[in-house]
Amino acid sequence: MARPKIALIGAGQIGGTLAHLAALKELGDVVLFDIAEGIPEGKALDIAESGPSAKFDATMSGTQDYADIAGADVCIVTAGVARKPGMSRDDLLGINLKVMKSVGEGIAAHAPDAFVICITNPLDAMVWALREFSGLPHEKVCGMAGVLDSARFRHFLASEFNVSMKDVTAFVLGGHGDTMVPLVRYSTVAGIPLPDLVKMGWTTQEKLDAIVQRTRDGGAEIVGLLKTGSAFYAPATSAIEMAESYLKDQKRVLPCAAYVDGAYGLNGFYVGVPTVIGAGGIERVVEISMNKDEQAMFDNSVNAVKGLVEACKGIDDSLT
């Protein structure tokens, strides 16, 4: 059986890391696409040359021609611009919307059967626009944010409790932005919910609140340190986790920006929710019950995303 084909649209910081991780995990042959001449070719060659030492079997190539992504099983989209200090994700909207148009058309023309994972910010609006421009089935287009946001939350919690990150589960819902909703009640250490751990004296409510806020600010913390761009190792690793679940039909339960039609009182809207990712793409949206406070935070987040989607419609007439 031929190896799967993975097309990475955007060969910048995240794109290059995605290619390296896909190679190390032998997920398939990789094509890096970018408008910047030489960058995808150079990164592809560099990674290919690491193959003999890393011992992976996968081909790597770089291109400026969408025809080369033909037949891709997975497309991961990072094309566009990233944040610099002082910028919010929403500041990227206008420029990245134009990029989504060309990427959506390129995927529709050459890889219409692919499972598409969008990473470009502002995430929830860009994944919606990418789906509109590409016309692909909704279950085959999703956005990576929840896996990253919950990984950040899990990392901070594991450090606070001095336990393995493997035993910490966490849920983060809503849009990828300042309004994201880390769900404390559904986050656990080996099945023990965080509120119980506060009662058990493992941490205090104040410390937990600070961790929740640090999770919300996780992206900005890295931007502030790097100064020249935004996070890329953890975002790439998160998207690879999603791609692997699709390619191997693992049916992982992962939070991601998915098309929600019916659940959560939403009809036809992209926002961060728990999903099951398998060979069918987004096979299921998991609807969890929320208390009043959680629902209010979720609604606030949904409204923020709605505002961005409306802004997209105001910029591009073809979006309705």
Tokens coding 157 = 């919690």
Residue 52: is the preceding peptide bond cis (ω within 30°)? no
Least spacing, CB of residue 211 vs ligand A3D, in Å:
18
Q: Are 103 and 9 in contact (CB under 8 A)?
A: yes
DSSP string, 83-123: --TT--GGGGHHHHHHHHHHHHHHHHHH-TTSEEEE-PSSH
Question: Over 250-274, what HEC string results?
Answer: CCEEEEEEEEEECHHHCEEEEEEEE
Residue with smaller CB distance to ligand A3D, 121 or 187: 121
Residue with smaller CB distance to ligand A3D, 10 or 274: 10
- At residue 314, what is the residue type? G
10 marked ligand binding residue: yes
Residue with smaller CB distance to ligand A3D, 82 or 290: 82
Q: Which residue is nearest to ligand A3D (CB)?
A: 12
User: Catalytic one among 20, 110, 155, 176?
Assistant: 176
User: Taking CB under 6 A as the criterion, which residues in 62-81 touch ligand A3D?
Assistant: 78-81
Closest C-alpha to 271, from 123, 113, 93: 123
89 marked ligand binding residue: yes
Determine the interface stretch with ligand A3D among 7-15, 154-162, 186-194, 207-215 (rule: CB under 6 A): 7-15
**Residues 39, 227: Cα–Cα separation, whole Å:** 21
**Residues 103, 262: Cα–Cα separation, whole Å:** 28
Applying CB under 6 A, does 99 fall inside the site for ligand A3D?
yes
17: left (phi over 0), alpha (psi -120 to 50) or beta: alpha
Residue with smaller CB distance to ligand A3D, 63 or 300: 63
Least spacing, CB of residue 203 vs ligand A3D, in Å:
26
Residue with smaller CB distance to ligand A3D, 27 or 257: 257
14 marked ligand binding residue: yes
User: Taking CB under 6 A as the criterion, which residues in 104-163 touch ligand A3D?
Assistant: 119-121, 123, 144-145, 148
12 marked ligand binding residue: yes
Tokens coding 287 = 């609807």
User: Taking CB under 6 A as the criterion, which residues in 31-60 touch ligand A3D?
Assistant: 34-36, 39
Question: Going residue by residue from 210 to 249, which x/- string records binding to ligand A3D, judged by CB under 6 A?
Answer: -------------------xxxx--x--------------
Taking the CA of residue 74 as centre, how many other CA atoms within 13 Å lie in the half-sphere pointing to its CB? 33
> Residues of 56-80 as b/e, b for ≥16 C-beta within 10 angstroms?
bebebbbbeebebbeebbbbbbbbb
The DSSP 8-state label assigned to residue 76 in this structure reads E
- Active-site residue flag, 155: no
Question: Going residue by residue from 162 to 191, which x/- string records binding to ligand A3D, judged by CB under 6 A?
Answer: --------------x---------------
Residue with smaller CB distance to ligand A3D, 189 or 220: 220
Least spacing, CB of residue 45 vs ligand A3D, in Å:
16
Closest C-alpha to 282, from 146, 149, 142: 142
Q: Which residues bind ligand A3D (CB under 6 A)?
A: 9-15, 34-36, 39, 78-83, 92, 96, 99, 102-103, 119-121, 123, 144-145, 148, 176, 229-232, 235
Q: Which residues are annotated as a binding site for substrate?
A: 83, 89, 121, 152
Kindly list the catalytic residues: 176
